[in-house]
A and B are shown apart, each in its own frame.
Chain A
Amino acid sequence: MMVTALLAEEVSALTNFLQYTFLGLQKGAVYATIALALVIIFRVSGILNFAQGEMATFSTFITWAIWGDGRVPIWAALALSLVVSFALGASIERLVIRPVSKKAAGNPLPIVIATIGLYLAFSALAPAIWGTDAKRFPTLFGEGSLSLAGASISYQTLGTLAVLAVVVGLLFVLFQKTKIGLAMRGVASNAESASLVGVSVGSVLMLGWALSSAMGCMAGALTANVGLNGALMIAPLIYAFAAATLGGFDSPAGAVVGGLIVGLVAEYSADYLAEVPFTTITFIGEQLRIFPAFLLILVVLLVRPQGLFGKPQVTRV
C-alpha cells in the first residue's frame, strides 16, 4: 500500500519534472532565437541591440495584421512578415545605425544609445498603430499534444524546437558554406582586413540587421499565442540577454545552448521548485520568475565573463 503510494508520488514528480522541462525547452527555444539575433549583430558590429525585443514585437504586430484573424493563413502571413521584417532591419541599419556610427568614429556608445532610441520609438509606435488591448494570435502548430511518461508535450513545443533547429541549420549553411557568410565572419573577426579584400562592410552590417530582425519576427510568432500586446518581448529580451551572456556574446552556439539553459532554469525555479512540497525554496513565485535570469547574468559576469563558449578578451599591450 505504502509502496504503491510512494511509487505514485515518484511518478508524479517525474511527470512534473518532464512537464516543466518541456515548457522550459519551448520558452528556451524562443530565448535562443532572440539571443542568436543579438549575437549576430554583436559579432559583426560589436554593439548590443537593445531594440531587438521591441523590433520583434513590432514585427509580430505586422504578422498579426496580415493574418487578420484568419483572413490570410498564418504561415503565409508569417512568411510575408518575415520578408517585411528583413527589409525593416536592413533599413534601420542603413538609415539610423550607419549615419550614427559614421559620426561616432569608432566609439560604440552613441550607437548603443541609438538602439535605446529605437527601443523607445518602436515601443511607442506599436500601441499608437494597433492600440493597447491584447490581440488574439494563433498557435502556430495547433493545440494538440503527445503524451510522454504521463507528461504532455505539445505540438507547439515540438514545433518551436523544430523552428530553432531550422534557424540554426540555415545559419550554419549561411556562415560555413556561402561567400557572403564567410564575409560576415571576416568582418566579425577583423573588419578592416575584410574591407581590404573587397568586402563591403556596410552591406554585411545591413545583412546582419536584416537577419536579426527576421529572427525576431519568427520568435515573436512562436510566443504571441499567449496574447499579443506591446509587452510581448520585454521579458524574453531579458532572458535572451541572460542566454547570450551565459553562452558568450560572440558565439552563436553559445546563444542556443544558453537560451535552452535559461529557459529550463527559469521554469524549474519558478514553477517546479515552488510546487515541490516541504521545500523552503518557494520564494521564487510567478512574479519573481525573471530573478534567476538576472542572477545568472551576474554570476556569469563574475565567474566567466566571456561566457561558456565565448573567447576571452585579450588585450595586447
Chain B
Amino acid sequence: MLWVENLTGGYGPVQVVQGLSFEVAAGEVVVILGANGSGKTTTLRTISGMIHGRGTVTFDGTSLLGKRPDQIVRMGIAHVPQGRGTITDLTVEENLRLGAYVRADREVEEDIEQWCAVFPRLGERRDQPAGSMSGGEQQMLAIARALMSKPKLLLLDEPSLGLAPLVTREVFEKLESINRETGAAVLVVEQNAGLALGISSRGYVLETGQIVAQGSSEELSTDEAVRQAYLGY
C-alpha cells in the first residue's frame, strides 16, 4: 500500500534521510526502530508532505511527493506527530471534530461517540481544553483525532515519548486493537523497541538515515545488534 524507494530528504541542504526503501502492506503494523537523530521523524514528515523529499513514495499507486499535507490526508494517511500535536486551545471534542475535517459524510457525531467510548477518559473530558490533559491522555486524543479521518494508514511518531511505562503500554495495547478492529495499517517509528516489536509484524532499523536491518518482528527481537542497541539486554 505504501511504497518508499530510495527516499532522500531533510531540511535545507542537510539530508537527514539518505536513500530509504521500505513498504507497508494494507492492514499491516510496521515499526521503524531508530535512535535520536537517525531520521525517523524526517521520514514520516516526508511521507505526510510536511517537508520535501526525493525518490519514490507511492500510496495505492499514486505518488505522494510534491503533494500538500491536506491532499495527503484526503488520500487516507493520518499522521500523529511527535510530541502529540494536540490542538491545546480547542476542547477534546473540537479536536476530534477537526480530525474529521476532510470528511463530508454525516457519521462524524457517531464516530466521536465511538472514540470517546474506546478512550473513556476522552469522553469524561470532552469539553475541557486539550491542553489541560496529561501527556498520556493527549497522546490518546492525538491518535483518536487521527482516526477521525478514517485513514487507511496511520503514521505514529514516537508515541511513547515522555510517557510513563504503564501509560505507554496502554497506548500500544489500544493501537493493537485499533489495527485489528478498523483494519488501518500502522507505521510506527520508535525507540521503545520492546513494545513496538510486540504489536508489529515486521520492522526496519534506521541508523543515520539508512536502513541497516530489516525482518519480521520476531527476527528483530532476537537479533543480537537490535537487542543490544534497543532492547538493552
Q: Taking beta carbons and an 8 Å cutoff, which residues of A are in contact with B?
A: 179, 182-183, 185-186, 188-190, 192-201
Tell which of B88-96, B181-189, B213-221 binds the partner: B88-96
Contact A186 B87 (CB under 8 A): yes
Q: In whole Å, how far is B14's beta carbon from the nearest beta carbon of chain A?
A: 14
Task: Tell me the B residues contacting A by CB distance below 8 Å.
Answer: 48, 50, 68-70, 73-74, 78-79, 81, 85-90, 94, 97-99, 101-102, 145-146, 148-149
Find out whether the CB atom of B98 lies under 8 angstroms from the CB atom of A183.
yes
Do the beta carbons of B102 and A198 come within 8 Å of each other? yes
The answer to whether B146 and A197 touch across the interface, beta carbons within 8 angstroms, is: yes
B102 closest partner in A (C-beta):
A198
In the bound complex, CA of A197 to CA of B150 (Å):
11
Q: Verify B86–A193 contact, CB threshold 8 A.
A: yes
Using known A-B contacts A189-B87, A189-B89, determine if residue A197 contacts B101 with beta carbons closer than 8 Å. Answer: yes
Main SS of chain A's interface residues?
Answer: helix
Which A residues are in CB contact (< 8 Å) with B102?
197-198
Closest beta carbon of chain A to B189's beta carbon, Å: 15
Q: Give the CA-CA distance A188 to B98 in the complex, in Å.
A: 13
25 contacts between A and B (CB under 8 A): A179-B101, A182-B94, A182-B97, A182-B98, A185-B87, A185-B89, A186-B87, A188-B89, A190-B88, A192-B85, A193-B81, A193-B85, A194-B87, A194-B98, A195-B50, A195-B70, A196-B69, A196-B79, A196-B81, A196-B146, A197-B145, A198-B149, A199-B98, A200-B68, A200-B70
Q: Is the Cβ of A192 less than 8 Å from the Cβ of B81?
A: yes
Q: What is the bound-complex CA distance between A189 and B145, given in angstroms?
A: 16
Closest A residue to B98 by CB, please name it.
A186
B59 CB to nearest chain A CB (Å): 15
Give the chain A neighbours of B48 by CB distance below 8 A. Answer: 196
Q: Which of B74, B88, B97 contacts A198 (CB 8 A)?
A: B74
Bound Cα distance from A188 to B87, whole angstroms: 9
Q: CA of A182 to CA of B112 in the docked complex: distance in angstroms?
A: 16
Tell me whether A195 and B69 are in contact in the complex, defined as CB-CB below 8 angstroms, given that A179-B101, A182-B94, A182-B98 are known contacts. yes
Look across to chain A and name the residue whose beta carbon is closest to the beta carbon of B80. A196
Q: A189-B87, A196-B85 are in contact. Are A183 and B69 (CB under 8 A)?
A: no
- A158 to chain B: closest CB distance in Å? 35
What B residues does A198 contact at CB under 8 A?
69-70, 73-74, 101-102, 149
- Residue from B86, B97, B101, B149 with most neighbouring chain A CB atoms (10 Å): B101
> A189: which B residues are within 8 A, CB to CB?
87-90
Residues of A within 8 A of B69 (CB): 195-196, 198
- Please report the C-alpha to C-alpha distance between residue A185 and residue B85 in the assembled complex, in whole angstroms: 14
Q: What's the Cα separation between A277 and B32 when bound, in Å?
A: 80
Measured between beta carbons, the chain A residues less than 8 angstroms from B94 are 182, 185-186
Q: Which residues of B have CB within 8 Å of A182?
A: 90, 94, 97-98, 101
